[in-house]
Structures are given as structure tokens and as C-alpha cells.
Amino acid sequence: RVGAAAPVSNIGLTRAWVKRDPTAGGAWQAFFTVKNYGAAPRTAPLTVALGGAVVAARAVSLPAGGETTIPVEIRTRSAGWIEARLTARDAI
């Protein structure tokens, strides 16, 4: 291909952490940082699951080059895997 390269579109999860909510038994706060590496604004669906069951789903909108951290409350007294998934199509 000759000419300027097309702008790369990429959005991703860059950090995740969980901490217990000391004010509510069985409650945890999970935080997920999402970054838009592209040159255009993007909106992507974020889904958070605990043990395979969806506990939160929302659209994350970011400006070009933007980053945000999304808090999610998780209520459980059992151990389990937490999974966060962005289902946007991008260059990767």
C-alpha cells in the first residue's frame, strides 16, 4: 500500500485491582482501568463476571488517547475468579 498508514484503533484494559469494602460485609470494590490508544473517540462494552456469572456490564466511552478507571461493586462471601472483558473490535 502506498501513502499514509491508516490510524490504529486500539482500546484495552491496562490495570485491575480488588479491595474489600470495610463498611459492608461481603462487599468488594473492583477497579478496571481502560485506555484508548487510538486517535479517535471510542465506546466499548465492558463486562465483569464472578465465577462465570455477569455482575456488571456497561459501555465505556473514551476520548482519543483517553483513560478512565471504572469501579464495580461485587457482593460475595465466596472465593471466585473475577473476569473483565472488553468486546470492542480493534487493531489487535
Q: Is residue 54 part of a domain?
A: yes
DSSP code for 17 = E
CATH number of the domain within which 47 lies: 2.60.40.10
Counting the structural domains of the chain, the total is 1
For the chain, what percent of residues have pLDDT higher than 90? 67
- At 32-57, the pLDDT tens digits run 999 999 999 999 999 999 999 999 99
For 23, counting Cβ atoms within 10 Å of its Cβ (0-12 exposed, 13-18 middle, 19+ buried), the class is exposed
Q: Which domain holds residue 45?
A: 11-86
